Amino acid sequence: MVKRSKRAILRPLPTSTEVKVPARLHVLFARDTSQALVIRRGPSKATCTAGWDRRDDTFTMGQWLRGRIYERRSDLSPDGQHFIYFAMNGRWRSPTRGSWSAISRAPYLKAVGLWAKGDCWHGGGLFLSSRSYWLNGMHFSVPASVDGLKQCSPPPPPPHGNNECLGVYFIRLLRDGWTLLGDDKPEVGTYIVRFEKKIDAHWTLRKIAVATLNKRKPGQGVYFDEHALVSARGGEVLSKPGWEWADVDESRKRIVWAERGCLYAAKLKAGGMQEPELLYDFTPMNFEAIAAPY
């Protein structure tokens, strides 16, 4: 792959068999359009973004960052035009103080508004509309103007959360149509919160949000999600522990999910899930310097 100054369409790549820990994926949906943004992490100190048009499942390359983007403190504006995120590269003596919150023009990372943070408490935020946003926590710097966007007061706090990822993530889930089922502490150091979203008359998607300091899979952080499909007929539960992200694509009446560095889609019928479709394999991608077109 070569340097790009304009939007570049991502083409299918061969599946890699050499990577022990696959790329980690998280997706943000624009609430009012078919646009989405994929956050791809791997290895641990490299993150990139890609635009996803769900109308025809085409993907547009964004930019790479040598650092971490905290996907659970990030959001995509309802019109799909702007991306707010919290990032960390550990360069604590730099102008960004090693961590920062930013707003960019999706799917790119180049900031049109940037707030130096200096630690990993709080950070990131949410879009309240396509023209207004909420910034999570105090920052060292405040930009005078952010691409015509207005900073507003925070939304109501979530019933379960904290001042790191969950305090933003749970608000976003509830806003985007997930229903809170309840929480549980099955062991010391582990906290689980369950959400559900109805797919159709036959199936519901369940999201199990886990926060734990205990033993995890290779490449799995202290926050991760697991998923299951719940049938309205007899309450049958189809566990999907390998789905690290999943949601309902209502516009196309299907479910979409990320598993082992790949993005999939499938429709459901009363008897179960139809044959999955591989939308894109993000695993073989490597860091490259890409300039934003603005």
SS3 9: strand
pLDDT value of residue 43: 83
User: Which amino acid would we find at residue 189?
Assistant: G
pLDDT value of residue 31: 96
Pairing of strands 111-116, 99-105: antiparallel
pTM: 0.90
pLDDT value of residue 1: 35
Residue showing tokens 């290779």: 218
Q: Is 221 exposed, middle or buried (0-12, 13-18, 19+ CB in 10 A)?
A: middle
> Domain locations in the chain?
24-281
Residue showing tokens 């023009």: 105
143 is written with which tokens? Answer: 């930009």
Residue 228 CB-half CA count within 13 A: 13
d(CA 202, CA 204): 7
pLDDT value of residue 219: 75
d(CA 221, CA 178): 23
pLDDT value of residue 115: 95
pLDDT value of residue 9: 60
pLDDT value of residue 17: 43
pLDDT in tens, the chain (294 residues): 333 334 456 655 444 444 478 899 999 999 999 999 999 999 878 999 999 999 999 999 999 999 999 999 999 999 999 999 999 999 998 988 999 999 999 999 999 999 999 998 999 999 999 999 999 988 887 776 799 999 998 888 777 777 778 889 999 999 999 999 999 999 998 999 999 999 999 999 999 999 998 878 777 788 999 999 999 987 889 999 899 999 999 999 999 999 999 999 999 988 888 999 999 999 999 999 999 999
pLDDT value of residue 271: 80
pLDDT value of residue 12: 53
Q: Which of 101-131 are b and which e, b meaning 16 or more Cβ less than 10 Å from the residue's Cβ?
A: bbbbbbbbbebbbbbbbeebebbbbbbbebb
User: Which amino acid would we find at residue 162?
Assistant: N
